[in-house]
Structure 1
Amino acid sequence: MNALMALWRYRGFILGSVQREFQSKYRNSLLGAAWNIVNPLSMIIVYTVIFANLMRTRLPGAQDHFSFSIYLCAGILTWGLFAEITNRATGMFIENANLIKKLSFPRLCLPVVVVANSLLNFGILFGLFLLFLVISGHFPGWVILAVIPLLVLQVLFAIGVGISLGVLNVFFRDVGQFFALFLSFWFWFTPIVYPVSVLPESVQSLMRYNPMARLIEGYQQVLLHASMPNWYSLWPVVVLTALLCVYGLWQFRRHVGEMVDEL
């Protein structure tokens, strides 16, 4: 409760940081914020060209030539949010070392700024994706509301991972490098550019241990099939998220004083 009150008192600092970061990211750029759309769009186009003909016939519930593109977008856009939060949170204390040393403010403002910026970028992309669904006649209707709890769970999971690794990264700088590499493998072990059904049964059983696979499948169920996700399948993710958030906050509070010296 005290932490929430502190964050509320520093809401001006948080909003100002989000605004400055968004503006500085695209300053002196001809395309500006459009780069936020170009990068994931180019990835979606490449994967669609490479995998569409190969995977479309093996995609369960595929109805037309838009199905695989929707399947891809549901995975790539939401994975991009997860990757951005975790990557940035892992290095947030190091990147803001000067700010931490010179100013007195609740250090938990930093993960809030990371999440806010990531959600801002995601909101732009996801809004355009929803517009595409409406224009193409594939909007899932009221079922789209199921995305909200999925998104909340994913953000909490990402920040739990990010804070836990961010604290460790201050003391062991290899953590950030290793996680960036690990994230690349994690992407391909998640059913984003391929359906689980194309994998051998032995590999499919391993997907149960991938929390992001459960979340991404939930998004795909809503956006592609216009049906509710299997909420029961997400209970391991909820438990893991709670454990990571508690562990990350415990690590943060335990080492917040030491981190200033290490930075």
Structure 2
Amino acid sequence: MSSVLRSLWSYRFFILSSIKNDLRARFTRSKLGGLWMVIHPLAQVLIFALILSEVLSAKLPGVDNKYAYALYLMAGMLFWTLFAETIQRCLTLFIDNANLMKKMAFPRLCLPVIAAGTMLVNNVLLCAAIFGVFAVLGHFPDANAIWLPVLVLMTLALAMSLGTLLGVINVFMRDLGQVIPVVLNALFWLTPVVYNLNALPARYQAWFKFNPLYVLVTSYQNVLVYGKPPLWGQLAGLVLATVLLAGVALVMFRKSSAEMVDAL
């Protein structure tokens, strides 16, 4: 592990410049530039809010705001956007950078780190936009919002660990790239992002809590909407699972690094 960290530190300027170039390349010919990073998810939130708020707003106890459902939805989408986009980015990360991996000698682990940096910048911009919308709607999160950066890093670590593992497998099994978007779409509706778990029949609520993403999205909603602390007890188990998953992803990545270049 120490050798991996030393390698990444040695290539820190390469990583930082790659993140900068990646962000710049995505919006070079766009007049709105980086605003597109927040327009898309906010537009999705607006659509869901307009369609579903009248149905679900009455089922959000503890939120004294007529835009309660929109607030709840934005908190959930802040989590989901980071998680899903990171998974999708990592899924094709090595395939998209095949030429770079063949032509340049650098630690291949730089690629996931660059992707993580890009996703983090995107999420910070979205977070700033959401806080601006919160202010316009008259909602100001309390001191529990200080835990949001911790939750963001937990989400990014989980998504990067899983995404890197899937990205390595996808190099050798390209069908995985078609399956994962379908799985993510199903997982979105199995996670209480656009609905409150209390709106479901009591006999089903316990089953939804087995979803490992439940504790993360609920913690986002607690600190941003309800003024409550994260679900630390359950998050501890998720952190342990993330560490184990990261270890598996790192081992598979290092063992498959040479074969990936040949497969690409």
CA distance, structure 2, for counterparts of residue 227 and residue 53 of structure 1: 25
Using the TM superposition, name which of 245-254 and 232-241 deviates more.
232-241
**Cα deviation, residue 132, structure 1:** 3.0
Matched, 1:35 2:36: yes
Partners of 2:259 and 2:72 in 1: CA distance: 45
Give the 5 Å matches for 1:128-167: 128-167=129-168
TM superposition shift of 1:77: 1.7
1:170 corresponds to which residue? 171
Superposition deviation, residue 138 in structure 1: 2.2
Partner residue, 1:235: 236
SS at match of 1:209: coil
- Report the Cα distance in structure 2 between the residues aligned to 1:36 and 1:90, rounded to whole angstroms: 19
Query: Which residues of 2 match residues 57-76 of structure 1 at below 5 A?
Result: 57-76=58-77
CA distance in 1, matches of 2:61, 2:114: 39
Write the mapping of 1:178-193 to structure 2, written as runs, cut at 5 A. Answer: 178-193=179-194
AA matched with 2:47? V
- Tell me which residue corresponds to 2:207: 206
Note the aligned Cα RMSD (angstroms).
1.3
Deviation, 1:131, is 2.7
Question: What code does the residue aligned with 2:194 have?
Answer: V
Please give the alpha-carbon distance, in whole angstroms, between the structure 1 residues aligned to 2:197 and 2:136: 28
CA distance 1:177–1:153, shift in 2 (3 Å): same
Paired with 2:24 and 2:256, the residues of 1 have a C-alpha distance of 32
Q: Which residue of 1 aligns with 2:87?
A: 86
Partner SS state of residue 209, structure 2: helix
* Paired residues of 2:76 and 2:217 also in contact (CA < 8 A): yes
**One-letter code of the match for 1:157?**
L
Give the aligned length: 263
Q: Which amino acid aligns with 1:257?
A: A
Checking the alignment, whether the CA contact within 8 Å between 2:65 and 2:139 is kept in structure 1 is no
**How much does 1:136 deviate?**
4.1
SS of the aligned residue for 2:191 comes to coil
Percent identical = 37
In structure 1, the residue matched to 2:52 is 51
Which structure 1 residue ranges, 4+ long, deviate > 4 Å from structure 2?
A: none
Residue deviations 1:22-57, cap 9 Å, x none? 111112122222211221111011000111010000
Aligned-partner Cα distance in 2 for 1:161–1:202? 30
Which residue identity lines up with residue 12 of structure 1 in the other structure? F
Match of 2:222 in 1: 221
Contact 2:18 2:114 in 1 (8 A): yes
TM-score between the two structures when normalised by the length of structure 1: 0.96
TM-score (ref. length: structure 2) = 0.95
Q: Deviations over 1:211-258 (max 9, x none)?
A: 111100000001011121221122331222112101100111111111
Paired AA for residue 180 in structure 1: P
> Partners in 2 of 1:201 and 1:136 — Cα distance?
31
Contact 1:211 1:236 in 2 (8 A): no
Q: How is 1:238-253 mapped onto 2 (pairs within 5 angstroms)? A: 238-253=239-254
**Unpaired runs of 5+ in structure 1?**
none
Unaligned runs of 5+ in 2: none
Instruction: Confirm or deny: 8 A CA contact 1:156 1:241 kept in the other structure.
Output: yes
| 8 Å contact from structure 2 (residues 38, 129) kept in 1 | no
